[in-house]
């Protein structure tokens, strides 16, 4: 029974997440944080202050996100290997 | 859920900094204690902190709404390393995101830590523990915790914005809360289901491959020989 519920959840998630034809928004893939910026300006008239590093300058954003993803992935992969491969089944450490 | 600089009045920004700092202090204490007691705690902390940073920065497109948002990662972190330690990880992650990735502000860091760190971690952890007490399996309890933690984070962000929004407007806090949560939730709901599935799957994987980690952390009870 539980397996069937999980399977249904997985299928629903997959349908909702991966069928682009269902997309509703006029401007595709805008982040909710950006939507919030617009909503806040509409309600209060206040715009978000500029971030410390403006990631919209040329390829700077691309570089930062790639570098951040690479660093996080490297740390994650290294520790994953330590925990689940090198030490699998060896007790406390 | 990254609130930008300028979206909270000074009074509320300071309030959230003060509130969050109490939880962060307890988290720092827990990190040192657990690192002394549990040998595999440091590598696990490295793994989980990288995961929280990456997950909470990853914009996942949700085709049904045509928008994108990110999961939180803190419910999973709270289950694995403890709720207060998870709060410390969220501080590091949110600070880096505010400084280098234009995600969230510095003056609003306290509010962001409060929503993603404190509420995400505590709701995730409490729901997981309750689920286990009610007899749910490890994966199901963690899955529900991941889902509930994610939704709780975005509801908290909406509340923070509704209470502390600046400027002159004729909206009550309740109406503003509904407006902000109505903006977040359609996108966040499928992502919360996804976060629940990932959280449950992760716990099940660790239980299968290295159950000793879960025994040492007190997540699973060691079977009697």
What's residue B172's pLDDT?
87
* Residue whose C-alpha is closest to residue B142's, from A6, A85, A93: A6
Question: With contacts defined as CB-CB under 8 Å, which chain A residues touch B212?
Answer: 89, 91-92
Mean pLDDT of B12-33: 96
A91: confidence class by pLDDT, cuts 50, 70, 90: very low
pLDDT tens digits for B176-187? 899 999 989 999
Would you call B155 an interface residue with chain A, using a CB distance cutoff of 8 Å?
no
A23: confidence class by pLDDT, cuts 50, 70, 90: low
Asked if residue B108 lies in contact with residue B10, where contact means CB atoms within 8 angstroms, the answer is no
- Domain total in chain A: 1
Assess if residue A78 is contained within a domain: yes
* Shortest Cα distance, chain B CAs vs residue A15, angstroms: 9
User: Cβ contacts of residue B196 below 8 Å, gap of 6+?
Assistant: A9, B143, B144, B145, B146, B147, B150
pLDDT tens digits for B66-119? 889 999 999 999 999 999 999 999 999 999 999 999 898 899 999 999 999 999
Q: Give the structural domain span for A65.
A: 52-88
Asked if residue B79 lies in contact with residue B124, where contact means CB atoms within 8 angstroms, the answer is yes
pLDDT tens digits for B134-171? 999 999 999 999 999 999 999 999 999 999 888 767 78
Partners of residue B61 on adjacent β-strands: B68
Smallest Cβ distance to B63: which of A23, A84, A89?
A23
Mean pLDDT of A17-29: 64
Q: Which domains does chain B have, with CATH numbers?
A: 10-216 (1.10.1760.20)
* Residue whose C-alpha is closest to residue A71's, from B104, B97, B195, B35: B97
Output DSSP code: residue A45: S
Question: Does residue A93 have a pLDDT over 50?
Answer: no
What radius of gyration, in Å, describes the C-alpha atoms of chain A? 21
Mean pLDDT of A55-59: 87
Answer whether A68 sits within 8 Å of B57, measured CB to CB: yes
Partners of residue A31 on adjacent β-strands: B68
Q: What backbone torsions phi and psi does residue B61 show, to the nearest 5 degrees?
A: -70, 140
Question: Does residue A22 have a pLDDT over 80?
Answer: no
Question: With contacts defined as CB-CB under 8 Å, which chain B residues touch A72?
Answer: 50-51, 53-54
- % of chain B residues with pLDDT over 90: 75
Assess if residue A61 is contained within a domain: yes
B193: confidence class by pLDDT, cuts 50, 70, 90: very high
**Cα gap B6→B164, rounded to integer Å:** 10
């Amino acid at each position: 029974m539980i397996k069937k519920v999980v399977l249904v959840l997985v299928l629903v998630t997959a349908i909702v997440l991966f069928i682009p034809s269902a997309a509703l928004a006029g401007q595709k893939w805008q982040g909710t944080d950006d939507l919030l910026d617009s909503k806040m300006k509409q309600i209060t008239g206040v715009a978000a202050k500029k971030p410390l590093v403006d990631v919209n300058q040329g390829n700077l954003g691309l570089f930062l996100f790639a570098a951040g993803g690479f660093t996080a992935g490297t740390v994650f992969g290294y520790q994953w290997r330590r925990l689940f491969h090198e030490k699998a089944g060896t007790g406390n450490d | 859920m990254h609130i930008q600089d300028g979206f909270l009045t000074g009074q509320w920004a300071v309030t959230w900094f003060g509130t969050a700092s109490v939880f962060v202090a307890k988290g720092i204490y827990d990190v040192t204690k657990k690192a002394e007691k549990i040998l595999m705690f440091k590598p696990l902390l490295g793994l989980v902190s990288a995961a929280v940073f990456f997950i909470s920065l990853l914009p996942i497109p949700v085709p049904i709404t045509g928008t994108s948002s990110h999961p939180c990662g803190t419910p999973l972190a709270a289950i694995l390393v403890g709720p207060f330690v998870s709060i410390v990880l969220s501080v590091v992650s949110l600070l880096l995101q505010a400084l280098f990735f234009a995600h969230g502000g510095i003056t609003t860091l306290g509010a962001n830590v409060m929503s993603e760190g404190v509420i995400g971690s505590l709701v995730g952890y409490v729901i997981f523990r309750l689920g286990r007490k009610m007899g749910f399996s490890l994966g199901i309890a963690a899955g529900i915790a991941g889902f509930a933690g994610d939704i709780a984070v975005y509801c908290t962000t909406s509340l923070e914005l509704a209470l502390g929004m600046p400027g002159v407007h004729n909206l009550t806090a309740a109406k503003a809360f509904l407006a902000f949560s109505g903006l977040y939730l359609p996108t966040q709901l499928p992502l919360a289901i996804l976060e629940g599935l990932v959280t449950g799957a992760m716990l099940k994987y660790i239980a299968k491959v290295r159950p000793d980690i879960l025994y040492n952390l007190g997540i699973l009870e060691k079977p009697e020989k």
